[in-house]
Amino acid sequence: MKSTIVTESPEETISLGERIATSLRKGDVVSLIGELGSGKTTLIQGICKGLGVKGYVTSPTFVLVNIYQGRVPVYHLDLFRLRGLQELEGIGYEDYLYGEGIALIEWGEKMRELLPPTYIEIQLKRLAPDRREVIIKGLTSKDRFPPLIKN
Ligand SMILES: Nc1ncnc2c1ncn2[C@@H]1O[C@H](COP(=O)(O)OP(=O)(O)OP(=O)(O)O)[C@@H](O)[C@H]1O
Ligand SMILES: [Mg+2]
């Protein structure tokens, strides 16, 4: 099952993230895939807002993971600078994927072989300066993301 949504502004992407957050549960892993500037961090800002995270959400740069506290712990990974899977072993990535919170992973394809058997994949594509296509895929998305159709 797959949902495709087109957003017309960063604000719309943030509110989409807030709607996605209502369907997320403890233990979920979300892999975000899309070129530079496609809106991964922006969508995560919305998801975090929806999960009740207060304060500024920005990509981890010198570390691989930022941890926020919302209604559950939120693990924000950004693998752009990842050089090898051993770096993930080094930070104990299992704690984030199989922990008590929700993992949101930018460039998640870089750890594809370490992802759990079931996870949610979100692909973002830049269609125009302010338009983004957001494709949400997950085995259970039919049950869990019914209200995402725009408006
Ligand atoms: N509809 C839209 N949705 C999301 N971002 C948008 C949209 N329209 C314009 N933008 C702009 O595109 C940029 C998206 O940047 P963002 O950091 O979210 O992307 P990213 O995929 O995380 O990039 P990176 O790969 O560098 O981490 C922002 O400057 C944002 O304002
Ligand atoms: Mg980013």
Write the pLDDT tens digit of every residue in 47-64: 999 999 998 899 887 789
Q: Quote the pLDDT of residue 116.
A: 94
Write the pLDDT tens digit of every residue in 65-118: 999 999 999 999 999 999 999 999 999 999 999 999 999 999 999 999 999 999
SS3 122: strand
Alpha-carbon torsion 104, 69, 18, 1, what sign? positive
Claim: this prediction has a pTM higher than 0.95: no
The DSSP symbol for 27 reads: T
Distance between CA 36 and CA 73 in Å, rounded? 26
Per the DSSP assignment, residues forming a β-bridge with 102 are 74
Q: Which residues contact 38 (CB under 8 A, 6 or more apart)?
A: 124, 125, 126, 132
Residue 8 scores a pLDDT above 80 = yes
Q: Quote the pLDDT of residue 150.
A: 45
Residue 10 scores a pLDDT above 90 = yes
All structural domains of the chain with their residue ranges: 2-143
**Is 145 within 8 Å of 133 (Cβ atoms)?**
no
CATH T-level assignment (fold) for domain 2-143: Rossmann fold (3.40.50)
Write the pLDDT tens digit of every residue in 26-40: 999 999 999 999 999
Residue 6 scores a pLDDT above 70 = yes
pLDDT higher at 59 or 129: 129
The answer, yes or no, to whether any atom of ligand 1 lies below 6 A from the CB of 106, is: yes
Distance between CA 145 and CA 151 in Å, rounded? 14
> Of 42, 43, 79, 106, which is best to mutate to test ligand 1, by the most ligand atoms within 8 angstroms of its C-beta?
42
Banded pLDDT at 149 (limits 50, 70, 90): very low
Query: Quick one: which atom of ligand 1 is closest to the CA of 131?
Result: 1
Mean pLDDT of the chain: 92
**How close is the Cα of 10 to the center of ligand 1, in Å?**
7
Banded pLDDT at 2 (limits 50, 70, 90): confident
